[in-house]
Each structure stands twice: as structure tokens, then as C-alpha cells.
Amino acid sequence: MPYGADRHEYLLAKGLIRPSTSPYGAPVLFTPKPDGSLRMCIDYRALNKQTIKNKYPIPRIDDLLDQLRGATIFSKLDLRSGYWRIRMADNSIHKTAFRTRYGSYEYLVMPFGLTNAPATFQAEMNHILRPLLDECVEVYLDDILIYSRDMKQHVEHLRRVFEILRRERFYVKLSKSEFALEKVQFLGHMVSAQGVHVDPKKIEAVRTWKTPENVKELQQFLGFANYYNRFVPQYAKIAAPLTNLLKKDTPYKWEPKHQEAVEQLKQALTSAPVLILPDPERDYIIEADASDQAVGVVLMQDQGNGLQPITYLSKKLHGAELNYPIHDKEALAIIIAFKAWRCYLDGRRTTVYTDHCSLKYLKTQPNLSRRQVRWIDDFLETHFHYDIVYKPGHKNKADALSRPAQVAAIQVKGMNPLLKGLFTHGYATDPEIPLAEKRHLLQWDSDIAYRKGSTKIWVPNYPPLRQLLLEEYHNVLYAGHFGSNKTLTGIAKHYYWPHLVEDVQKFVTSCDTCQRMKSSKQKKAGLLQPLPVPEQPWQVVSLDFITGLPPTTSGHDAILVVIDKFSKMGHFIPTHTTARTEETAQLFVRFIISQHGIPTTLISDRDPKFTSKFWKELMSLLGTKLAMSSAYHPQTDGETERLNQIVEQLLRAACKDEISKWDLHLPEVNRMALSVQADH
């Protein structure tokens, strides 16, 4: 018997539907289930457009999670056909009619697909379980979570829940229910006594997510990532290039900055921290910070193990907010925090840490702008008990929320006392400062001079200070001993002084490490030849090996380099020169195909691994075209050759005396090398 007929007979036999002569008639669709069978779905979109919406609230997921603090034992129940336990009102039955090849039918019970079905079901579950809600039970539609402090209490809680379900004739699907767990998956999260984690299954899903190739796929990726934004300190800042791509009338053109944003979000989600659950009996700590493009805050508590995060929040600045002076951006971060977390902070003493010194006087400052008065008098002072404390930026967790990951240890505004002292002494002794003030080139904030109309700090002509900044942006690991242009870009993003360009060039050309370790750029006979540009990410990729590296303690002595010719993003995978072709193929599948899909063209040199019968047959089965560079002119793939040189020089600079551990530095070098490549 066809599936549709079989399903209709089942529903008729159970008394769930009946034949209908209704003028309504929604179409029937069939969608595949994970096990390969089909699920019957009724398309009620036309009916839903005409339906007055039920405004009963579906619970906020973060509210449900907050209630679980202190629980150590969990059970999760999944109801069997819960919607069908609710009968349709007599005057609405005819509206549920649907058409099939066997005739028209209408539901006597509440079907899936009606716009008001979720709200109706949530209201029913809240009603029957109301005596236990927020005591030992949380309900989200047909998912029921029972939580307790110990096993004895948990058994009693289960008994009470089952008594209610038995009385109301709701049945549990045993195959999808779990009992007496120390950690449980609930609404895409892993919950335990330690706090809330991202569900490991979701981590694996984002790790293997393919590069979005159109607006719809990008919306799907951002929807997934945004669900977990409370775990990501830099979410608004990181996602900005992607959200900009979704703006109206913006062409969908995928660039390296978009790929970098995707990779950063993946990294942030796969390494997300454990968030503790709030204790309403303890005071809260907020750390706030702002940058040119975004503001960031983190809510924390000390529950006996030092300060730990409860949730992160960041916001991309828009419109007039981008023109706020820096202290107003800092204040805006505080306002956003109190508005978002009012349910926690109302009635509790809250300490706000900021790396902007002047904000600690915000409550007592006599001359406030209208905007500041509105924020302070009409909102903060009316509703909250709070103190603002100055905390230098190098100690402030929230700095990471609003600033890029590659910002050096010397932060734009948050300074340690030594650095602050260098600036103070420099301003006092530099004869150019009074002249700059007279010409209105400076503006002062917290004893720091900024270039007029900019957020860049004006660095006085004090050699020890300028030398320190040059070293920070060129010498250390995160700077990578880059060339003059890259070093200048890093410094100029946050600092300014006259003749900065000349000073950077002089410093870089005299760097001893660069002179000894950077390879020659002398080209071999023949020019580096660019290859045709592909039309989408990970369609054309190049493979190459970096060999001749010293063996590491893990046995690695080579790097497999895989580069996407469209986005210029890539993977640097540690391996060894004796690896068999099969092992190299496994690495390619694991790091490339599983994450980005099967490429249409693969460019490589004539390494025996890539010319072997096994490799050619594998690529043939995958439908991937092999493009070999000529035997005596590997420069055919000039772009990859250039990137290999960058990787080698960065590894030399990063490892120094730790040559046997170069593979541990490879992830950071991977990021830096792609950053350099994107700037060329």
C-alpha cells in the first residue's frame, strides 16, 4: 500500500481525522526523515496568513538555562504525539481540511503546521506542569527537562512528573528520553553542574560547514552562529563583514575578509568557553569596552572559583553611534549591558569595570551632554545600584569583545603603569606637543593625546616609547616580523606620530632577525605565472609541500599546504616526508573535503604522491581535474610558492630556540600568513 494511503488509514483508525466536505483544502507534502522514511506534512501557509496569532509566549532559552543552577542530575522526556492530545474546537475542525488523491480529510486533533499550534501546546504544558515549573521542571514545547540537586530528590521529582502526565494522558517516547544524567543535551546546549556548553554535535556541524556560496547559505550560517552568540566574545565584530554582505543592494561577492570571518566564527564556536549559571544571591561584575566599530561587555560572577563568565554580548555600531567620542562609546557599552541584563542586575549591587579612566567619574561629573544625562539620570540612576571602577585594558576581558584578535598586547587605551608613564614623560618633554596643540592638531582624554578627529593616540617624540611600540608591532610572535607595510598598518591603526612611515622603514630594514631569517625574493628563471581565477570558493585548490624542516617531537618534518585559489584562504597541515600517498589522501579528505566539499580542479607539482596511480584514481572518482605544474618550472603556481616563503619565514621568527616544536606554532602562523597574503 502506498505510504500516503497507509498513513491516512492509520489516522482514520485512531480517530484523529475524518472525511471532509470542507471548502478548505491544504496540499500535502512528504519530507524525508533521518532514517529514510517519509513524514507527511500539510502546507497550511494560506490558512496561517488569515489566522489571528496566539501571543502566548514561548519561553526564552536563556531564561530556561538560568533556572538550572545548582542541579547535578538531569532527565529529559520527549512526548509521543503530544499535539494529538489536544482536540480541535468544533468550529475550527473544517479549517484543517487537506486534499489527497484519496479524498479530503480534516483533523479532529491539533495537527502540526498550524501557526498557533506551538503557542497552544506550550500553554497546555505550562498549565498541567505549573506546580513544578522552575522548581524541578522546565518545558520547551514537547521537551521536558527534570533537574535536581541529588539522586534521592530526582527520583521524587520524576515520580511527581509522571503522575501528572499519567493523569493528563500524555505519553513519553522512551527511545528519545534519557534519565539520571550528569550532563544532558537540551535545546542545542550541553548542561551540567559546571555550567552551559555548546552541544558537541553542533560544534562538529560548524566545523564541517561548507563556505556559503550565496545569500541564502550565508543567512543559514549566520542564523546558526547567532544562536550561540552568548558564547562568542567577539561576535558582532567578527560577523560584521558577513552581515554587511547581506545589506540590501549589496552584490554577493565573496572576498578573503568574508572567508576569514567565517573561519574566525568557526574557531570561536569550536573553542567556546563554559558559561556558569547566574547566582541571584551574589553580586555581578560587568566589564565593558569599546572600539571604533563595536562595543563589548561580559557579565561575570565570583562563585568561589574566581571571576567566571555568565554571558557575552557585543554590538556593532551603526549610524550616529560611529561618530560618538570614545568615552561615549564606552558609556554606551555600559548602557547596553544594563538593558540586556536587567533581569539579573535589577536590585543587585553591580560593579562595572572599564578601561576608560574618566568614566569612573560619570556619576559625579557636573557637565554632562544631553545624551549622557539621558543615560545616567533617566536610566542607570533610576533602576540600578552600580559602581564604575577603572581597570587598565590589559587586564580587561571585554577588550577582546570589541577589538580584532590580532591587536597587540599594547592596547589602544588600556595601559599598564609603565606604558602610561612613558607617555606622560614623553608629553612633558617633547617640544613638538605645544606646537601641535597651538595648531589644534590634538585632543586630550584621560591625560592621553589623540590626533584631532581621530581615535589614534598621538605618540610623543620620546625614543624609548616609540622603540617599544615598533618592537611590539614587529618583533613579537603575533606580529610575525612582517615587512614595512604590514608593520606600518598595525601601528597606524591605533597610533600616530610625524614621520611614522620613515621610522618604520628604518626599524624594519635594521631588524637583525629579519636580515638573518627571511629568504631571498630573487626569482628563478622565468616569471611567476598566475592561474585563472575560479568563480567560487574551494572550486580550485592548490597542493604543495614545505619540506626540509627539522623533525618535531611529534615526528613532523613537513607541511602540506592547501590553498583555495578564490578566497586565498588555506590550511597548513603538519605531516612527514615519509607519509604514504594514502595518508596524504586522508589528510586531504579530513581537512579539505569534509569542511569545504570536493574541488573541481586540483593544482600540484609533480611530487610522486600526486603522480601516483592511487592519487589519480582517487581524484578521478571524486570528479576532480588534476593540473600539474611543469617539472622544471614549479613557479607555474606562483601564488602558492610565495605563500610557502611567507610560512617558512614566519616559522623561523616564531620558533627561535624552539625549533623542535614548530608544529605547535603552525596554527598561529597559518593565520598570520593568510593575513599577509590578503594584504598583497
Round to whole Å and give the CA distance between 490 and 383.
Answer: 42
pLDDT tens profile 534-553: 777 888 888 888 887 888 88
Fold of 3-193: Alpha-Beta Plaits (3.30.70)
pLDDT tens profile 195-234: 898 888 888 888 888 889 899 899 989 988 888 888 887 7
3-193 against 197-270: fold identical: yes
Three-state DSSP at 443 gives strand
Strand partners of residue 633: 630
Per-residue pLDDT at 4? 59
Per-residue pLDDT at 224? 87
Per-residue pLDDT at 261? 87
Three-state DSSP at 108 gives coil
Per-residue pLDDT at 377? 64
Q: Among 8-12, 138-142, 543-547, 672-676, which is the least confidently predicted range?
A: 672-676
Phi, psi (5° rounding) for residue 111? -90, 165
> What mean pLDDT value characterizes the chain?
80
One-letter amino acid of 14: K
| Residues 19, 103 contacting (CB under 8 angstroms) | yes
pLDDT tens profile 301-349: 988 877 788 888 888 888 888 888 777 888 888 888 888 888 888 877 8
**284-402 is a CATH 3.40.50.300 domain:** no
Residue 89 has pLDDT above 80, yes or no: yes
Please, which pLDDT band fits residue 419 given cuts at 50, 70 and 90? low
Question: 466 or 480, which is more confident?
Answer: 466
Per-residue pLDDT at 514? 66
| Residues 103, 40 contacting (CB under 8 angstroms) | no
Pairing of strands 558-564, 570-575: antiparallel
Residue 402 has pLDDT above 50, yes or no: no
| Residues 356, 326 contacting (CB under 8 angstroms) | yes
Fold of 197-270: Alpha-Beta Plaits (3.30.70)
Question: 75 or 463, which is more confident?
Answer: 75
Domain spanning 540-678, CATH class: alpha beta
Per-residue pLDDT at 631? 40
Q: Give the residue extent of every domain in the chain.
A: 3-193, 197-270, 284-402, 417-517, 540-678
Grid cell of 475 as nine digits: 618583533
Residue 86 has pLDDT above 70, yes or no: yes
Q: How confident is the model over 47-61, as a mean pLDDT?
A: 91
Write down the H helix ranges in 14-138.
Answer: 45-49, 61-66, 117-128
pLDDT tens profile 349-395: 888 887 666 565 565 555 667 777 777 765 666 667 778 887 655 45
Question: 287 or 92, which is more confident?
Answer: 92
**How many CB atoms are closer than 10 A to CB 110?**
23
Q: Which CATH architecture has domain 417-517?
A: Orthogonal Bundle (1.10)
